[in-house]
Amino acid sequence: MATNLSDRRSVLTGAAALLAAGAARGQAVTLPFGNGERPIKTYPEKRPMLVLTERPPQLETPFEVFDHGAFTPNDAFFVRYHLAGTPPRGLDAATHRLKVLGAVETPLDLSLADLRRDFPAVELAAVNECSGNGRGFSSPRVAGGQLGEGMMGNALWRGVTVRALLDRAGVKASAHAVEFNGADRPQMASVADFVKGLGVDHARNGEVMIAYEMNGAPLPLLNGYPLRLIVPGYYGTYWVKHLTDLTVLEQESQSYWMQKAYRIPDNDCACVPAGTAASATRPIGKLNVRSFITNLSDGQTAKASARALVRGVAFDGGSGISGVELSSDGGKTWTPASLGQDHGKYSFREWSAHVPLEHGEHLLVARAKSKAGDVQPLTANWNPSAYMRNVADPVRVVAA
């Protein structure tokens, strides 16, 4: 924990006001870890965002966005791709097809109009968080996308359930898993196509859905236009973009992106001693419980007050948030926060609390608890790919 006290997130949030101007002037933001310089650029349908990589496009949400409500605007929603040549070009909602193939009685080949006409529409608020959100803060550091904490977002998704499609197609009794593929393809044939799999019961749970709208508008191209898989409570790696194919399998998915990548230590904490390898692994799954302070950033000067407002967001993998506690003394004593409107158990839950901030330095720590009983740890768990970071990180403010 100590390694993160000094300058966490400070430069990012402090520079947030510069973002719009910075985009025009070709400026950059520096995330508070080594090699944290990130250009700020404006991509199609996006506001100025932090650029992790240009090709494929990987864009991080400016952190201050999370202080403006439980839902993340589409033009600020993070972007994560794996393969060169993304996003795929030439997509068109009018001609796009979605196929249901494999171990089904009747394969389906549907247009978006079919989806909207023949299947009930459902709406669900759900957080999409990248498996490696916050990887840049890992200690020791590891290879991968060196992400700050802006690789997450919450949206209201509207579409159809995967169950409705599978029921229409008629899943055979021998079915074991469903593979999901999108229109993006690797530029080099040696790179595995980005395909993800879910167990057939999970895919049919009535919550896993295919979205054609995000926050009441069509999906931005960079967030999966025209159709995206939504796997509530699961890390973003499963949320396949530009969805074209559902294939029902009689065994588990053999995709590289299931069998080799996105794997976590196969134990309760999904962690191993820092710097060591995992002896056994499993595919990453549900989001762990996490919270962020959004109105104060590390290193910031705040107004001294007997009742200072601190607020933020919290979420977990779908049990829901049962409470958030705030400490203004580095975790010695805790004050319960009040929770904001409940948008559903997969959504960001806003929270706020008042704590005394006397003149001087304070270490603020927010710690969320899920209804399943999980609490954020006060020291970071470590794993070789720096997935699932959820430490209750302190934010140092000086009251004056």
Looking at residues 267 to 306 of the shown chain, list those that interact with ligand HEC (rule: CB under 6 A). none
In terms of CB distance, is 141 or 176 closer to ligand HEC? 141
**Which residue is it, tokens 């097809």?**
97
Under the binding rule (CB under 6 A), the answer on residue 82 touching ligand HEC is yes
Among other proteins, ligand HEC, none, what binds residue 213 when CB lies within 5 to 8 Å by partner kind?
A: other proteins
| CA gyration radius, the chain | 21
Among other proteins, ligand HEC, none, what binds residue 280 when CB lies within 5 to 8 Å by partner kind?
A: none
Beta carbons of 213 and 123 less than 8 angstroms apart: no
Among other proteins, ligand HEC, none, what binds residue 296 when CB lies within 5 to 8 Å by partner kind?
A: none
Beta carbons of 368 and 321 less than 8 angstroms apart: yes
Question: DSSP of 173-202, one letter per residue?
Answer: TT--EEEEEES---SSTTSPP-EEEEEHHH
Measured CA to CA, the distance from residue 41 to residue 395 in angstroms comes to 27
Please state the closest distance from residue 206 (CB atom) to other proteins, in A.
5
In terms of CB distance, is 142 or 246 closer to ligand HEC? 142
Among ligand HEC, other proteins, none, what binds residue 333 when CB lies within 5 to 8 Å by partner kind?
A: none
Q: Both tokens of residue 137?
A: 């803060």
In terms of CB distance, is 121 or 269 closer to other proteins? 121
Please state the closest distance from residue 142 (CB atom) to other proteins, in A.
8
Count residues near ligand HEC (CB under 6 A): 6
In terms of CB distance, is 82 or 354 closer to other proteins? 82
Please state the closest distance from residue 198 (CB atom) to other proteins, in A.
12
Beta bridge partners of 58: 53
Measured CA to CA, the distance from residue 141 to residue 182 in angstroms comes to 31
In terms of CB distance, is 128 or 322 closer to ligand HEC? 128
Beta carbons of 100 and 171 less than 8 angstroms apart: no
Please state the closest distance from residue 144 (CB atom) to ligand HEC, in A.
5
Please state the closest distance from residue 151 (CB atom) to ligand HEC, in A.
12
Q: How far is CA 362 from CA 4, 14, 155, 355, 388, in A?
A: 14, 18, 33, 11, 27
Measured CA to CA, the distance from residue 359 to residue 362 in angstroms comes to 9
In terms of CB distance, is 88 or 144 closer to ligand HEC? 144
> Of residues 85, 144, 199, 331, which one binds ligand HEC by CB under 6 A?
144
Q: Please, which of residues 178-207 interact with ligand HEC by CB under 6 A?
A: 188, 190-191
Q: Both tokens of residue 79?
A: 């972007």
Q: Which of these, 32, 11, 7, lies nearest to 22 by C-alpha position?
A: 11
Backbone phi, then psi, for 177, in 5-degree steps?
-150, 165
Please state the closest distance from residue 191 (CB atom) to ligand HEC, in A.
5
Please state the closest distance from residue 187 (CB atom) to ligand HEC, in A.
8
Please state the closest distance from residue 8 (CB atom) to ligand HEC, in A.
23
> Of residues 143, 189, 280, 306, which one binds ligand HEC by CB under 6 A?
143
Beta bridge partners of 351: 312, 339
Beta carbons of 376 and 325 less than 8 angstroms apart: no
Q: Is the dihedral of CA 198, 203, 205, 206 positive or negative?
A: positive
Among other proteins, ligand HEC, none, what binds residue 119 when CB lies within 5 to 8 Å by partner kind?
A: other proteins
Residues whose CB is less than 8 angstroms from the CB of residue 189 and which lie 6 or more positions away in sequence, other chains included: none
Residues that bind ligand HEC (CB under 6 A): 82, 143-144, 188, 190-191
